[in-house]
Chains A and B, each alone.
Chain A
Amino acid sequence: MRRFFYFRLALQNIRNNKKTYIPYILTVIGTVLMYYSFQCMADNPGIQDLRGGTVVAMIMGLGTFVIALFAVIFLFYTNSFLIKQRKKEFALFNILGMEKRHLGRILLWETLIVAAVGIAVGFGGGVLLTKLMYLFLLRLMDFPVQLGFYISFSALKSAVILFGLIFLFTWLNALRQIHLASPVQLLQQQKAGEQEPKTKLLMAILGVLCLGTGYYISITTESPITALTLFFAAVILVIIGTYLLFTAGSIAWLKFLRGRKRYYYKTRHFISVSGMLYRMKQNAVGLANICILSTMVLVMLSTTVALYAGSENMIHSRYPRELMVYANMVTESQADTYEEAVNQYLAENGLSAQNVISYREMYGAMVREGSNLRGPVGAQDMMVSAEAHFIRIDDFRQMTAGTLPEALKADQVFLLYRGNDIPGDTLGVSGLTFQIAGRMTFDEAGIDPAALTDSYNVADVYVILAADTGVLSQIETAVDQEIGVEDSIFYNCDPALDQLRYVYGFDLGDEAQVKAVQEQMSLLLTETGIPQGGIENRYDNTASYYEMNGGLLFLGVFLALLFVMAAVLIMYYKQISEGYDDRERYQIMQKVGLSRQEVRASIRSQVLSVFYLPLITAVIHVAFAFPIIVRLIALFNLNDVGLFLMTTVITVLVFAVLYAMVYAMTAKVYYRIVSE
């Protein structure tokens, strides 16, 4: 009977605090639902059996980890907010003669009820959602749709364990908070700590420095590889900077406003500036949280959408033609014989090669220092590599639309480049010196970079056209002498014997025939005596791009949802707690002669400036993150900056509209509380 009593009291408490508990329970449901779903997808045998399913399962596993981490932090944060809000209520129970252990028991029941509802509904929703996710994923990944529900008991079990632990800790934390305080303290707690915050100049300066450094890294980093290593440093700097600036900067700014008497002593500013200053300390962290979450949502969505939408672009840069042959140590006559044989075969089958690429080269990753190229030594040189393609000028004429010189002298080269130009009129290569007879960018020469670079877009690319194979041989010798033959970067050719790296590719314009042609071409390679060669078929790998990018998009969308949910909840709680705080203040001001319209106007002014601050800051963060993300997605072979810009702008716009809607909703709640 007594147990029943506590249970009923717990139920009653939840009902009394429904304004804050319903959103909390919804969050629990949402988090459980996400966690279960991702866990379920991660170990769903149906998914692992799919082609590329292991990649998806891995991405889902990563997602599960992020969600678990998020759940721990966020539920803990929300719960301590709730307990803080309710301290007065606990003090009252306490004064009415309820002991702390009884309070603990009520809290336990409350926690159990929330946990039970949250996990049960979350699980139910999760079963439905996994089905939907599965269908969505299949569509994204270009798979045919199958039917049937799948319930993962292992996912359920791990959800129960994870959330059970989380709830255990939130309960212990609530107990700790109650045990620490006496009833009087509990009663006063809500009023405490409302003193005017101090200006923290050092903190503000540090914040500007962190943010500035983060932005600087993003803007100035040129090489994608460096971008990869520095990206996380930049992210952490920006996060720290955001917290510092929101805390210190906002206080300094508000104090500055207050110092400007003519501005400050106007009804609207008077009330809003002082109101904001009054609790900027708690405010700042909440705002910074919203800002960071918003930034993450924007970055994740714009990037994953761009990656998915750019799949074709990636596939094209990785597979410039439907069929591509890459072979080492190929002589000119072998190449000619091979291409003749291929063309003959195609003709016999009523096909023809279109958009043909064909050249032989001596290719390697080098280091550029000023006007000199040298071989890489040691690990640090991997970061600053330039791609060098040394090609006999006559082999390259059909590859470019630009006009090349009729002939070159032995000490002359013609330069085609992408990225940084070579300064000056001479080019040094490992101690050799060449006159640069002329130069063009890839754009000017009309070269499709995909047809050339087997790179990951990480480096400057130089096509160095030379008079003949003899010059190439000279260069090879010089470079090998510099870095040692055993480390030679030109292992795939031997220009002295006219054996070079061979690149040959074309489109058929008939996908159905590609496979058969590929097989025949493979046979012909062996017949021609080209042993070190391989043929790539674009369609073999198309699916894997969609699997990878679809999986990432999926993860991006769902994590974004989760973060949006968190941001909305933080906003909502902020409005509620502030509403209760401000109610009395507004009542007093009305007694002194503040009209209802003025109440509304000053609330709008206050909420507007505080609420849009995180959004505006998030958009600025995204704008500054843009350059480094462009470099990063180049690593994924996505070079379409326009596409990424478009997805970013659209994401930001959609998000801003959503944000404004949430703001309007929570502001209404706030107004209702204040004017009750």
Chain B
Amino acid sequence: MALLEVSHLKKIYTTRLGGAKIQALKDVSFSVEAGEYVAIMGESGSGKTTLLNILAALDKPTVGEVLLEGRSIVALKEREISSFRRDNLGFVFQDFNLLDNFSVQDNIFLPLVLAGKSYEEMVKRITPLAHRLGIADILNKYPYEISGGQKQRTAAARALITAPRLLLADEPTGALDSRASEELLSLFADINREGQTILMVTHSIAAASHAGRVLFIKDGQVFHQLYRASLGREEMYQRISDTLTTIATGSGRRQA
């Protein structure tokens, strides 16, 4: 059984003004095996964030099903959602979403506090993780005192501290300079090698070239997918780039 099973997702937004309907997702199906590193690419407005929000149980699809380890996310009741999210999913966002009123350490603790873990337990978990992510020295600083790269690694620590089944990332390198991006991506690659399943939405070819598989979304559907197999980073980069060109030139053909 796949870790994540997405079938026939459709999402229609109804705008508040005038009630016009916007189709963000038309028919999206794919699955993710445990231990995979999947990147999702697509143009701006193609529905990537919408998809991720549905996977994260932050939003409900109009039609379709999402199963995590065989359990339906779509059917979760309102009061189960928060604890489900906290126990099974980790998030990294483009704009970090750190809280300015918490120190780095408290930001990382947040999901554990929400889960009602003891302080001792939290300390036990953060120590190795902070070393791993290179933020052990800044735990007592505040988000406004640290760099973008450090912020994103803090956000990654917050996502990983609950040992989630699935790490979801929405354009995690979008607000970072190239060096910080590279650091974060190799970090993601490392933790993936250690067994963490990752699903990442990105614009960047460089970012996607780290992944084991790349899904291309266009017009609300999975347009194409690309497996890394034994390809090196350079080759992968080239293949992604070619695919994007094909999509952009609009040879509307849909590949399996």
Contacts and interface: CB of A to CB of B under 8 A. Distances in A.
20 contacts: A196-B142, A261-B119, A265-B113, A270-B110, A274-B99, A274-B102, A277-B101, A278-B101, A585-B101, A589-B99, A589-B110, A591-B58, A591-B91, A591-B97, A592-B158, A593-B114, A594-B82, A595-B79, A595-B81, A595-B82
A195 interface: yes
Nearest to B112: A265
Given A195-B144, A270-B113, A593 B99 contact: no
Contact of A593 (B82, B119, B142): B82
B42 interface: no
Nearest to B91: A591
B114 A592 contact: yes
Interface in A567-612: 585, 588-598
A585 B114 contact: no
Given A195-B144, A590-B82, A592-B91, A598 B114 contact: yes
A541 interface: no
Given A277-B101, A592-B111, A595-B83, A195 B116 contact: no
Interface of A: 194-196, 261-262, 265-267, 270, 274-275, 277-278, 585, 588-598
Contacts of A267: 113-114, 116
A265 to B, nearest CB: 5
Contacts of B98: 588
A595 B58 CA distance: 11
Contacts of A595: 79, 81-83
A580 to B, nearest CB: 14
Contacts of A598: 82, 114
B85 interface: yes
Nearest to B109: A265
B86 interface: yes
Given A592-B110, A594-B82, A595-B82, A262 B99 contact: no
Nearest to A191: B100
B115 interface: yes
A588 B97 contact: yes
**Best-buried of B111, B118, B119 by chain A (most CB within 10 Å):** B119
Interface string B232-253: 0000000000000000000000
Interface string B87-110: 000010100011111100010011
Given A195-B144, A590-B82, A592-B86, A585 B113 contact: no
B194 interface: no
Contacts of B99: 274, 585, 588-589
B122 interface: yes
B78 interface: yes
Contacts of B115: 593
B115 to A, nearest CB: 7
Nearest to B87: A593
A593 B76 CA distance: 14
A274 B106 contact: yes
A593 B97 contact: no
Contact of A266 (B86, B101, B113): B113
B169 to A, nearest CB: 13
Contacts of B78: 596
A194 B100 contact: yes
A275 B100 CA distance: 10
Contacts of A597: 79
A321 B254 CA distance: 109
Nearest to B117: A265
Given A261-B119, A598-B114, A593 B83 contact: yes
**Best-buried of B56, B97, B116, B118 by chain A (most CB within 10 Å):** B97
A588 to B, nearest CB: 5
B172 to A, nearest CB: 14
**Best-buried of B58, B97, B101, B102 by chain A (most CB within 10 Å):** B101
B101 A274 contact: yes
Contacts of B81: 595
**Best-buried of A275, A593, A594, A595 by chain B (most CB within 10 Å):** A593
Contacts of B122: 265
A593 B86 CA distance: 5
Nearest to A594: B114
B114 A275 contact: no
Given A592-B91, A592-B114, A275 B82 contact: no
Contacts of B86: 592-593
Contacts of A593: 82-83, 85-86, 111, 114-115
Contacts of A196: 101, 142
Contacts of A261: 119
Contacts of A275: 101
Contacts of B56: 591
Nearest to B86: A593
Contacts of B91: 591-592
Given A196-B142, A274-B106, 8 more contacts: A265-B122, A270-B109, A274-B101, A588-B99, A589-B110, A592-B97, A593-B111, A595-B82
A270 B78 CA distance: 23
A588 B101 CA distance: 12
